[in-house]
Amino acid sequence: MTVSTTSKIASRTRPVQSLMLAAFILGACGSTVTPPGPAVSAHAPATSAVPSTAAPSRNASPALMPSSQPLTPAAIISLPDASDAIPIIAVGDDVWIGVDGAIIHVTGSTNAQRRIAVPAMRTGNGSLAMASDGLWIADWAGNRIERLDPATGRVELEADAPGPVGFIVQGDRLWVGSERNVTIYPVDRKTGKLGAKVGSAPGATTGLGQFWQGAAGGDIITRLDPATGKVLGTVAVPAGSGCGVGGAFPDNVWAGCGKFPGMENPAGEVVARIDPATSTVVTTARLPIFGGVVIANGVPWFFVPRKGAATTETSLVAADPATGVLLAARDLGPLDLDVPVVTASALWLSDEQGRRVVRYDLATLRP
């Protein structure tokens, strides 16, 4: 089970940029940085076997959307204190949500909520990460990062960071993405001091111990050594799909370029499944518009946003990972997706326009 989507955290308070970061965190491999603008993101450990034995196809036909059926939420968390893009992370079965002036801890087994006062937390301004030493928040407007006691919200460490837009947590190591300097920095977790920059984008997906980065509208995915920034290799993908990668390593890894409603390509958007062992594209799928992907029960479900009469609406569309054929569609109704995360049993979506987080049980996500 893995996620990815258009990330709008911190994108409403400055010019929107088409930086696709790989924030799809991938099968049991780490955590992500989430930059502004159209992006791909994922947050959940998973390794999913491809369920189809059909021969791979490199040439996806124009998107033929399956008939859509409504998908009913299992729970809705109302967030009246959210005024912009809503950050959310999963920690075990629980989720942590940023609102204006606070962080909400939701217990996954009961949906019970606990509010923690955090004066520096603002929607649309940064993101969250949980590490062994505490809860980290990125304050883009204040050019700083903070580490908090997750039980009380007390600030334990504060440090300068240029335009921080998200974190990567991998074992005992922590990185922060910088929108201002368009790179990623390692963070000394005792002092908050930033180390030498890594890569040439403010976000990355972690997979197989590497950073995977793309570029807006590009056709190359770059694999980096997170410790040194050294380029370990590249993956050629279809033109316009190289913004970032996400999914479940190693069997369900997808490259794509997320877009907001109104940015549709009449010919459809191509997303490509990568074989990390060979660094090649093994199949493609074509969607009306691509807003990210979540892997559930071994199946990729792609977010397809659209403009409604007065709101943004969203569908989830399943594809066969071996052939790229679209299998099923689920209508989520009015929902302006910021960030999706998955736990062992649920998919959680932060909905900016609805000022809420919506929960769907993974058992309902079957084609």
Whether residue 1 is contained in a domain is answered as no
What radius of gyration, in Å, describes the C-alpha atoms of the chain?
Answer: 18
Residue 51 belongs to what H/E stretch?
A: none
pLDDT tens digit string along 184-243? 999 999 999 999 999 999 999 999 999 999 988 889 999 999 999 999 999 999 999 999
Domain with residue 149: its CATH number is: 2.130.10.10
Whether residue 257 is contained in a domain is answered as yes
Gap between the Cα atoms of 268 and 246, Å rounded: 19
Better pLDDT: 31 or 202: 202
Rounded to the nearest integer, the mean pLDDT of the chain is 84
Domain carrying residue 266: 22-364
Whether residue 93 is contained in a domain is answered as yes
Gap between the Cα atoms of 148 and 334, Å rounded: 34
Per-residue pLDDT band at 8 (split at 50, 70, 90): low
Whether residue 14 is contained in a domain is answered as no
pLDDT tens digit string along 93-134? 999 999 999 999 999 999 999 999 999 999 999 899 999 999
Whether residue 135 is contained in a domain is answered as yes
Per-residue pLDDT band at 13 (split at 50, 70, 90): very low
Percent of the chain exceeding pLDDT 70 equals 83
pLDDT at 224: 97
pLDDT at 63: 55
Whether residue 292 is contained in a domain is answered as yes
Whether residue 122 is contained in a domain is answered as yes
Question: Could you give the number of structural domains in the chain?
Answer: 1
pLDDT at 308: 82
Question: Quick check: 44 pLDDT over 50?
Answer: no
Q: What share of the chain is helix, strand, coil (3-state, %, to 5)?
A: 0, 45, 55
Whether residue 5 is contained in a domain is answered as no
Q: Phi/psi at 180 (nearest 5 deg)?
A: -60, -45
What 3-state DSSP class applies to 55? Answer: coil
Contacts of 278 (CB under 8 A, 6+ apart): none
